[in-house]
Structure 1
Amino acid sequence: MLTVYTTAPSSHSLTGHEFRQRAVDVARWTEAAGHRGLLVYTDNTLVDSWAAAQLMIEHTETLVPLVAVQPLFRHPFDVARAISSIGYLHGRQVDLNLVTGGFAGHMRELGDVLDHDERYDRLAEYGKIVNKLLTGARPVTHLGRHYGLNSASLTIPLPAELTPSIYVSGSSDACAQAQQTLGAVRLSYPRAAADYAEDPDGLRGNGIRLGIIARESSAEAWRIAHERFPSDELGERLHDVAAGQVESRWHQNLSRDAQNSHSPRDGYWLYPFRAYKTFCPYLVGSYQEVARLLGEYLDLGITALILDVPKDEDDLHHSDIALRLAQRMPTAV
């Protein structure tokens, strides 16, 4: 079964009023489309992800925010308390996307000196504590490398049916180890499906994030794609500068692909990422063409799909046509 989320808008370049309206609109479109929820980003420069999730919960009925959680921002007890509080106040579920932080400069700002793999060790410890606090029947005592708790418990317990689904983001071996430790679903930004020919199980059981521009004809889809993401030399230069400051393996790999490929690969398009307009690849084409590409990822065993921020509600209508076609396609042998 495939779980589908969209992505909440960024607060960059928006006033508070503009962000509130945009976030509520995207949340309502996502709910109306029947998707589970939407990813809420976090980094040093964005509005707090929990404040954004609270806003969207208050303006929807069933939406499940997939909240990005960075260990440097909140203690694991505080995250568990936030989840149980949302359950108590709204009877609503919140999913978690555990992230380590990708930009080296952001880590330095917060005094973090751990290397890439150590941050995933901390992430795994963090996730285990949150899970124990939310699901354990007894107070939690934990003496670990990064955190310590002494008979800590939530005074507002979380109903079992509101237990969050847990995701971890990354593509490195350290991320895969954290995923295994937590029993989580790993999220990545996929390369073209054909690139997994030598590693056919590389995405199995995992989730991917990408954008979709699908229309009746391929020509119409590409017209919209180029209007939405025109050639942008400044954006390309900004991307190259940013790529030199990240430690995320997925970002490094995708940046190399984007710099080496200036044309779409059979509907798989990296230019929006290359031009620093978004952080994921796009699938572009007719409904049938995009459905075929999506079907290749489904054949690789993905269990979750996170769509890029929709420009308008109609975007989700068109992407859903392609997605429904893909799910009806016969599985490849």
Structure 2
Amino acid sequence: MPSSPPYVHTTGSITRDMLLVVAALVPAIVVQAWSFGWGVVINIAVAVVVALAAEALMLRLRGRPVVVFLRDGSALVTALLLAVCLPPLVPWWLPAVGAAFAIIMAKHLYGGLGNNVFNPAMVGYVVLLIAFPPEMTTWLPPMVLRDIHLGFSDQLQFAFAGQLPAGLAIDAITMATPLDHLQNSLSAGGTVAEIMTQPVFGSYGGPGWGMVNIMLLLGGLALLATRVITWHVPVGLLGALALMAGLFHGLEPDRFAGPGFHVFTFSALLGAFFIATDPVSGAASGRGRLVFGAGVGVLVWIIRTYGSYADGMAFGVLLMNIAAPTIDHFVRPRVYGHREG
């Protein structure tokens, strides 16, 4: 049942917003593919095809007009967000399973777009991370740190046939991400200053990730400028993450990485501008979104620092999705006609 009037009419639409999100993601995707190889494109292609097919199937089973709802672009955005989070060298069924689970289980079993409690892309990602940890933690190093070049046909063959060129093993061409490497090295007794001198690290999240981070930041600013998202979640998330990192780094610089490292990583900027800003599974009011984003930022830092997983963006978003109704209960939107900050 619709909410009580008065209603506000806007010139925006779901399709417009989703297409703007896709457009804002494209530069980062191009740079990510250039840095890590064709596997990024392969993952996206598989995820998009499966997501659209799953969307069409569920719409038909639910008796909804397939073409109308496919055009809204929400399934496309879910597939893109899931795919760019995956390692670039994985079997084809990994993005396929993740996309199908995200659309069928996390979206349509809750009633479809506008009714999902959890962010569908992050549900698909977490299911893959828990069910297939070896595949989800096997990352190709960026081109600048790689001696072995894998072409499109090589990565396509691995994705669909599980085979690498003769003489190559998966362990010989993969390495830990900067977050994984930091966590493992700290557990082994290293200090942050020593660890940061290694080749996998660098400014803005490490070699290969620097330009990706810049493109994500520019894309996020474009979404703010076009009012697809508001400033509350990005400021809350990145601010809380930087505050936690800065506080503990100031107390024990040998044990805790500084705010620059934590903020300028792929998941932090992707999560702040493209994932945690989901209006359906987040808080409703501006102040509520600020609290929601801050909660995600704190959880990301805690999981990165003390958890079993190197990164906590997906878990942080899903945990705060659970908290969103409580946030809305205590941080209510202003009465219509009153401006909210």
- TM-score (norm. length: structure 1): 0.27
Higher strand share: 1
Higher helix share: 2
- TM-score (norm. length: structure 2): 0.26
